[in-house]
Amino acid sequence: RNEKDIYGRIVTIEYDPNRNAYICLIHYGDGEKRYILHPRGAIIGDTIVSGTEVPIKMGNALPL
């Protein structure tokens, strides 16, 4: 996820039979939409963000 420090909201959760996994449609604050793998426990309406100084919570992405 290369949208750094831009919050996104989970809009849909769908099953992807090609991956045998659930995926989420994320609508970011700048208008961009992307699919990611569904983080366990995330529900529609949750917000996620990626970056270096983001809180440690399910769905957020931090560098190793």
pLDDT at 44: 97
pLDDT at 4: 84
Buried b (16+ CB within 10 A) or exposed e, 9-43: ebeeeeeeeeeeeebbbbebeeeeeeebebbeebe
pLDDT at 5: 87
pLDDT at 45: 97
Whether 1 contacts 61, CB under 8 Å = yes
* pLDDT digits 0-9 by tens, 15-50: 999 999 999 999 999 999 999 999 999 999 999 999
Domain boundaries defined on the chain: 1-64
3 pLDDT above the threshold of 80:
no
pTM for the whole structure: 0.85
In the CATH hierarchy, which fold is given to the domain comprising 1-64? OB fold (Dihydrolipoamide Acetyltransferase, E2P) (2.40.50)
